[in-house]
Structure 1
Amino acid sequence: MSLPAYWQQSKEFLTHTDPKLAKLILEHQQYSISSRGEALETLLRSIVGQQISVQAAASVWGKLEKKIGKIKPENVILMSFEELKSCGLSKQKVQYIINICNHFINFSIKDHLYWENRSFESIYDELITIKGVGPWTAEMFGMFYLLEKDIFPIKDIGIIRAMNQIYGEGKPLSLEKIIAISETWRPYRSVACWFLWRSIDSEEVLY
């Protein structure tokens, strides 16, 4: 797993910019965001992890790996719908996983070269054409596979909950307030989000 080159600089920037984040960074300074280096796995883990806890997602993923073996689009497609569903997935998530694997097969996506030298906007626009891949999943791909440093997944339940706790003292913040706070983190919003996730879940977030 690779550590992004911007990690240390981003922590220093956020520590000086935001006292509340500075406390989180100090508490979790031994950890860092990292990439598994597998595009398909990152996307599929993002689908599995939608609206469930980190622990629950890990359990479902473990069952998938046991049933499928090596996570390759061809291997996933060989599984029946019911076999995939039996791992703890909803019908909707199974279909989304199949859609992603078909996209990889149809576009002959074999390795990292497919994604190199492209803007995140270009990749984002491609991913959201896949039925089941919405903005959040595309943003997770940007953060955890491409290691983009300045993504703010505004609809992430965990981020909103953490911001309400830390900046709203437990009370819901308005969307305008959430955006205003996040703007102060540029150009390292991805890093700020990673530490916010750590504040509400002891399990490390990694897609």
Structure 2
Amino acid sequence: MVEWHFSPKEPYSFEATIRRLVRFDKMLYRYRNGLLYRTLWLKDRPVTICLEWEAGQIRVQAEESLSEQECEILKGTIRRMFSLDVELQPFYDCMKKEPDLAPIIESRRGLHLVLDPTLYECLIKTIISQQLNLSFAGKLVHRLVKFAGDSLVFQGEELPVFPAPDQVARLNVEDLQKLSFNRRKAEYVIDLSRDIVEGKLDLDSLKQLPNEEVIERLVALRGVGRWTVECILLFGMGRTNLLPAADIGLRNALKKVYGLNHQPTEAEVRQWGERWSPWRSYVTFYLWDYLSNG
């Protein structure tokens, strides 16, 4: 077993961050008695990590035997996933000038984005979620993981492992249709997985590119629109100044905040968003949380 302690940039609320995470990803994350755990891919094998908040730090344990190189990779993944190096005080200072938004932001002080561990997982979950409500999208993700993925046993409990690209690439459309995927979405999921396996699509090569270039490259792929790429930039890469202005949830939240009698247009959202830079991703994220929790 290996163990590390991480000190996140303050303010950081592990409780608020985990509460939202577990609510919307009950399948891949498990939370028991103050311990959060899930499986992650480490190069070509899955491992289980366990996280706990302890005296202002996040304590992380992994039961597997890991090499020094694997430890460094895993530590980097955890820091990125849980946004441990994102300092939100400048965000809170910036939002004090927004009287309608400031109370919503302040009441969620310390809430951080948790990123998907790989861009592949983020891409597939986002493709599945297109034009679906969160509940049904979650069911489809669950079915895909159970059907195509493996599992690990941790402290007597079987934990699912999100499938690797080659595991999904081996499927056919009919396999996913049996899981209630429509044919077109099944094709997108399988074809993108095959592109990755065959080396036609390298998601990691996009990490250093600016937002608009990532959008330009990915929307050229079948089944990938701007909203999908914006979600990847947000929940896969952790870009802090992303504004998915066409998102229905964001627009509904703004309608509620500003007491409008109509849903704001994409253009109106972008106009407001100019005032939120360089923290538009976190404004969006906090508004989504506000819409789902009030």
CA RMSD of aligned residues (A): 2.2
Higher relative contact order (CA 8 A, sep 6+): 1
Residue 63 of structure 2 is matched in structure 1 by none
- 1:142, CA displacement in angstroms? 0.5
- Residue 173 of structure 2 is matched in structure 1 by 81
Displacement of 1:28 after TM fit? 2.5
The SS at the match of 1:17 is coil
> Any unmatched runs of 5+ in structure 1?
203-207
Greater strand share, 1 or 2?
2
Q: Single out whichever of 63-72 and 169-178 deviates more from structure 2.
A: 169-178
Offset from partner CA, 1:34-76 (integer Å, 9 cap, x none): 2122111101111111122222222211111000104222111
For residues 169 and 111 of structure 1, the distance between their equivalents in structure 2, rounded to whole angstroms, comes to 39
Quick one: which of 83, 89, 98 aligns to 1:9? 89
Q: Quote the Cα distance in structure 2 between the aligned partners of 1:80 and 1:158.
A: 33
Normalising by structure 2, what TM-score? 0.62
Rg bigger for which structure? 2
Runs ≥4 in structure 1, deviation > 6 angstroms? none
How many residue pairs get matched?
201
Please give the alpha-carbon distance, in whole angstroms, between the structure 1 residues aligned to 2:261 and 2:217. Answer: 37
Q: Which residue in 2 is equivalent to 1:205?
A: none
1:118 is matched with which residue: 209, 212, 226? 209
TM-score by length of 1: 0.86
User: Pairwise mapping of residues 89-108 of structure 1 onto structure 2 (< 5 A)?
Assistant: 89-107=181-199
| 2:115 is aligned with 1:35 | yes
Percent identity between the aligned chains? Answer: 22
Indicate how the Cα distance of structure 1 residues 137 and 5 shifts in structure 2: closer, same or farther if over 3 A, else same.
same
Please state if 1:197 is matched with 2:285. Answer: no
* Offset of residue 9 of structure 1: 3.3
**Is the 8 Å Cα contact of residues 45 and 61 (structure 1) preserved in structure 2?**
yes
Query: Aligned to 2:220, what secondary structure does the other structure show?
Result: coil
Structure 2 CA distance, aligned partners of 1:20 and 1:107? 48
Any conservation in 2 of the 1:99–1:132 contact (CA below 8 Å)? no
Identify the residue that residue 55 of structure 1 maps to in structure 2.
135
Deviations for 1:1-28, whole angstroms, at most 9, x for unmatched residues? 3216344135313431322222222332
